Structure 1
């Protein structure tokens, strides 16, 4: 049984999340403030964390940063904030996905299942995971999740690694935002496609010498993105 930590100060919302998740077979633990949530996140054996941003004690951004320094388990941020800057900040700190209030319980379940499945696939993805793949200046090890750009090791978060691996494995193929969202986040493009753009920008910051004028991860206007060697 997968164990999920819900860090949410609105008790009514937390209980709705708990009820729907437990009906679907998950074991849940609720923390209603940031201090307790961070303590549980760092000491409990959880498979995924649902994290609100606006919390008493310690806000969700700080909790996300602290969690990501210790573990790579999926973090699903839940918040009432709609500003793009808030999403960029949360994803930049290592959150795997982002869902804005109000949301339907069925969408939450879909996001949870998708992120758990993607994480399992990354960790237990089959025999070919031991092989390295290289394209241009980028070398990736699918078993260790290590990435080298121009012979220098660079750290990539879970979704960043998956996205880069998809590009490196499929040079010159154009992927639309919808296709990328479906392939990396594991669902039809029902989520916020800004998530894709944020992750593309993060990749460019890590692999391009000049992220404003990308050589490898190119935008094909009206179509999507492609990786050029």
Structure 2
């Protein structure tokens, strides 16, 4: 097996693929490329990748469809590349299961930073601390932090890496209210940038997935209007 993480870079512009490859290889990653959605989907479903960097607008099969089809089979972290101002498509990308997005034109150094941050979260999460439990248990809900597994009434619920991190972060601190800036900073590693609607979209998806197994468990994620969100288990 490769000692270095292997990343799939998908973009129809050779110039962008070459630039991204150069910066990621300098940071120690192994890179595969795809120039259209059909090739990308074939590679993504037939070879394990640590992460996929996926352009939204692609020939043959567009990035949204690639993302949706990948998500039907696996939870590989996905960073979307989107055009500046393409807000609707960015939000739709999150709804399909993307974990992060980078707006074109982008800084290659920022992209590398986001790749490293996302891989750090999906590998050995920074939320692990000796004073915090590695299995979080609540009525009907068990969150296995080391195994990155969530069970609702013994039914496993499949979450994307970022959805899992968000759940763990909030569940480790029940009743604490988090504003969107805090969640972007601590879960996404964004300090001075990041769309706060990213948080809202992931909260919505997290509730929906928990709700498919139990409406009661989905209500543990509480909206505090005008402030943010908290994890609360009714007494």
Q: Which TM-score band applies after superposition, normalised by the shorter structure?
A: 0.7 to 0.9
Segment of structure 1 superposing worse, 166-175 or 127-136: 127-136
**1:1-229 correspondence runs (5 A):** 1-80=4-83, 82-122=85-125, 131-149=134-152, 152-207=155-210, 209=215, 215-229=219-233
RMSD in angstroms over aligned alpha carbons? 2.9
- Please, what TM-score do these two structures have when normalized by structure 1? 0.84
Inter-partner Cα distance in structure 1 for 2:147 and 2:131: 12
Report the secondary structure of 1:100's partner residue.
strand
> Distance between the aligned counterparts of 1:216 and 1:129, measured in 2?
19
Moved more, 140-149 or 91-100: 140-149
TM-aligned CA deviation for residue 153 of structure 1: 4.1
Deviation per CA, 1:93-147: give whole Å up to 9, x if none: 221111121211121111111111111125xx69999953123443222244333
Give ranges in structure 1 of 5+ residues lacking alignment: none
Q: Is the 8 A contact 1:130 1:143 kept in 2?
A: no
Do the aligned partners of residues 89 and 129 (structure 1) sit closer, same or farther apart at CA in structure 2, a change above 3 Å counting? Answer: farther
Is the 1:7–1:30 contact (alpha carbons within 8 Å) kept by the matching residues of 2?
Answer: yes
**Residues 34-69 of structure 1: per-residue CA shift (max 9 Å, x gap):** 111222222234221100011111111121122223
Matched-pair contact (CA < 8 Å) for 2:207–2:219: no
Q: Quote how far apart the aligned CAs of 1:78 are.
A: 0.5
Q: Distance in 1 between matches of 2:180 and 2:232?
A: 17
* Residue-pair matches, total: 226
**C-alpha distance in 2, partners of 1:12/1:175?**
40
